[in-house]
Structure 1
Amino acid sequence: MMTPVERLFTVFDETAQLLQEELQCTYLEAVAETGENLFHGDVLQSEVSELNAKRLKKQYRELMLERFQNEEIRKAFQLAVLKGMRKHVQPHHQMTPDAVSLFLAYLVREFTRSHLALKILDPAVGTANLLTAVLNGLRGKQANSYGSDVDDLLVKLAYVNANLQKHPVQLFNQDSLRPLFVEPVDVVVCDLPVGYYPDDDNAARFALKAKEGRSYAHHLFIEQSLRYTKEGGYLFFLIPNMLFSSPQAGQLNEFLKEAAIVQGVLQLPLSMFKNDQAAKSVLILQKKGPNVKKPKHVLLVELPRFSNKSAMQAMMAKIDAWITEEKEC
């Protein structure tokens, strides 16, 4: 018997393949189309033949989307998107691993224990997999969320993904390093796009622009995120491990000393990555403000494999104790 995630994925996959043939589009585009159809309970594409429209409606109707939990919908949609990305790979079409998304959701929840409502921004939202994982992990907190991405197909997938999970996310299809129409937020989550930023004129607006040559996009994303964070707000970045040892690291360190407090650096298991150069960590920052204190000890940990449940539970207990101690001091 299929699990709910497998059942949902099967419907996403079969209906996307049918739409791919009917619409002569990529599988990834067809996933977005079928997701929108499923949300509306109808076939919205006029090009689809009458016979195939009936087939699609039957599958959508029999699925009964309202019976599924948000996390089941997110995971099934993620599997369909991952299948599409394997056929349609571009460097920026990389999804945050699911275990990492869930771990970031846990961190956001624990660091914002005292908040009843949150404003959250993901400035590199992609398909909104990370953002909706965080929203699903908030457990009853009210949330207003925003996402921005330059890729129009990813934004469409994010829109469909958020709709299917009934999250009212405001999405912007734009270069996220240009001005955003977003009020300052309590939390930023971002799997930083790593590489050089091609627009030197726009990079000149940033304190972290390179003194010579091209600027690092991941540095500019950190600065941009801090611009749109409230004083005392938290930022959770997925960073390359070499962030603080790269050629422009000195400039980044100086900037962060002025603008933020480092709350923690949590190194992800090296076994998750193909090689040491691809390895990543979670960087937790807090934007400076009048009532913001430095932690007595920065949270520095090497995370065990996520599959090692007892080791992960022990690590999470350690993180919980650190947060409790820092919040009470």
Structure 2
Amino acid sequence: MSGLEKLHEVLDQQAVRIQTETSRTYLEALAEAGENIFQNTIVQTDLSEEGEAYCRNLLEDTGLADCGKEDVRRAFQLAVIKGMKEAVQPNHAMTPDAVALFIGYFVQKLTGDKENVKLLDPAMGTANLLTAIKNQTSNEVALYGAEADETLVNIAYVMMNLQAQEAELFYKDSIAHLDVPPIDVIATDLPVGLYTRDDVAVNFELCAESGHSPAHHLMIERSLASLKEGGYGIFLIPNALFHEEGADRLHQHVKNEAVILGLLQLPETMFKDQKLAKSIWIVQKKGKGVTQPQQALLAELPSFTREEALADMMQQIDRWMKDELGIE
């Protein structure tokens, strides 16, 4: 059994036992199971003697010593996916690994060998996307993440600890308030839905003229305001974004604040329901030296299982980067 498989097994078995003996959900129990592994002790005080002994026994061989950072992330990812099947919140969804890796590729290309890059995910969930990007970048990257769901923040916190990653994580509604330094890159899987805090939304240009405002529109506005001049926004967006109510105002706002670099439609085969299909939208905040590329990067990505077609697409993207952005 690999370190990844062992770590996932220990996380899952502890989480199930904690969930069974307490009133916690699986995801809440998973965060505590991770904390047990990090502290190398049982932090719960409400387990039975048998339950505590069971969890303590699992700590004797967690597999963590045989895991790299990506192994830890994937072990948590497998457990989180299980937990999200019982969760009712519609925004509890994991960004697919292939998409996270693709976004990470763009972050690496766009930042190059720049040091002290500040990377933010304002809707980080369990920080799966944030750490997937960090684990494939070669330059120094400071991580920032915000999430309004306390359980997901707790999982993100313990997963960061077990990966030995440094990050500033915030348990907060990033639309309402986001106290971060100017950011180089924002990469996020936008939460789609209506934002019910009308008292907050009224302070945004993209506030709906009537009724609740789309949360994803407000998140884009907040993100662009948080970027440095010349900073990049990489958003995973619903394909319906440009056809829904308020799309014209959103497009105008983005046009005023940034230049659109590209739009890459994810393979339809990734989505059981085409209404849920998504694309990767890449923009750059306006500033000194920022120019609109003569030709934006527009493409439909092939299935990630078609290796030859995907390799050809990557070559085309590399050529576009060189020709339009001067990035080797």
Do both proteins adopt the same fold according to a TM-score greater than 0.5, normalized to the shorter chain?
yes
> What amino acid sits opposite 1:25 in the alignment?
R
Q: Is the 8 A contact 2:2 2:63 kept in 1?
A: no
Partner in structure 2 of residue 291 of structure 1: 289
- The 3-state SS of whatever aligns with 1:239 is strand
Do the aligned partners of residues 209 and 21 (structure 1) sit closer, same or farther apart at CA in structure 2, a change above 3 Å counting?
same
Alpha-carbon distance between aligned partners in 2 of 1:60 and 1:258, rounded to the nearest angstrom = 54
Partner in structure 1 of residue 299 of structure 2: 301
Per the TM alignment, residue 3 of structure 1 is displaced from its structure 2 partner at its CA by: 3.8
Give structure 1 stretches of 5+ with no counterpart. Answer: none
Per the TM alignment, residue 50 of structure 1 is displaced from its structure 2 partner at its CA by: 4.2
Per the TM alignment, residue 64 of structure 1 is displaced from its structure 2 partner at its CA by: 4.3
> What amino acid sits opposite 2:249 in the alignment?
Q
Of 182, 185, 188, which aligns to 2:183? 185
Partner in structure 1 of residue 65 of structure 2: 66
- The 3-state SS of whatever aligns with 1:62 is coil
Deviations 1:176-226 (A, max 9, x none): 111212111101011111111111121111111112332111111000001
Alpha-carbon distance between aligned partners in 2 of 1:275 and 1:29, rounded to the nearest angstrom = 29
Aligned pairs for 1:261-300 (under 5 A) are: 261-300=259-298
> What amino acid sits opposite 1:175 in the alignment?
D
- The 3-state SS of whatever aligns with 1:233 is strand
Partner in structure 2 of residue 162 of structure 1: 160
Deviations 1:105-124 (A, max 9, x none): 11111111141221011110
Deviations 1:116-158 (A, max 9, x none): 221011110111111111111112x112111111111111111
What RMSD, in angstroms, separates the aligned Cα atoms of the two structures?
1.5
How many residue pairs match? The answer is 327
> What amino acid sits opposite 1:317 in the alignment?
Q
Partner in structure 1 of residue 173 of structure 2: 175
**Among the aligned pairs, what percent are the same residue?**
46
Aligned pairs for 1:2-41 (under 5 A) are: 2-41=1-40
> What amino acid sits opposite 2:215 in the alignment?
A
Alpha-carbon distance between aligned partners in 2 of 1:107 and 1:69, rounded to the nearest angstrom = 23
Which deviates more from structure 2 when the two are superposed, residues 209-218 or residues 41-50?
41-50
Per the TM alignment, residue 277 of structure 1 is displaced from its structure 2 partner at its CA by: 1.3
> What amino acid sits opposite 1:250 in the alignment?
D
Partner in structure 2 of residue 255 of structure 1: 253
Of 205, 208, 214, which aligns to 2:206? 208
- The 3-state SS of whatever aligns with 1:292 is coil
Alpha-carbon distance between aligned partners in 1 of 2:75 and 2:64, rounded to the nearest angstrom = 12
Per the TM alignment, residue 45 of structure 1 is displaced from its structure 2 partner at its CA by: 1.4
- The 3-state SS of whatever aligns with 1:44 is coil
Partner in structure 2 of residue 327 of structure 1: 325
Alpha-carbon distance between aligned partners in 2 of 1:151 and 1:216, rounded to the nearest angstrom = 18
Of 129, 144, 149, which aligns to 1:151? 149
Alpha-carbon distance between aligned partners in 1 of 2:212 and 2:63, rounded to the nearest angstrom = 50
> What amino acid sits opposite 2:105 in the alignment?
Y
Q: Is the 8 A contact 2:7 2:72 kept in 1?
A: yes
- The 3-state SS of whatever aligns with 2:74 is helix
Say whether 1:82 aligns with 2:106. Answer: no
Partner in structure 2 of residue 104 of structure 1: 103
Alpha-carbon distance between aligned partners in 1 of 2:201 and 2:318, rounded to the nearest angstrom = 38
Per the TM alignment, residue 51 of structure 1 is displaced from its structure 2 partner at its CA by: 4.4
Partner in structure 2 of residue 231 of structure 1: 229
Deviations 1:225-278 (A, max 9, x none): 011110000110000111111121111111111100101100000111122211
Alpha-carbon distance between aligned partners in 2 of 1:3 and 1:297, rounded to the nearest angstrom = 46
> What amino acid sits opposite 2:326 in the alignment?
E
Alpha-carbon distance between aligned partners in 1 of 2:69 and 2:17, rounded to the nearest angstrom = 25
> What amino acid sits opposite 1:134 in the alignment?
I
Give structure 2 stretches of 5+ with no counterpart. Answer: none
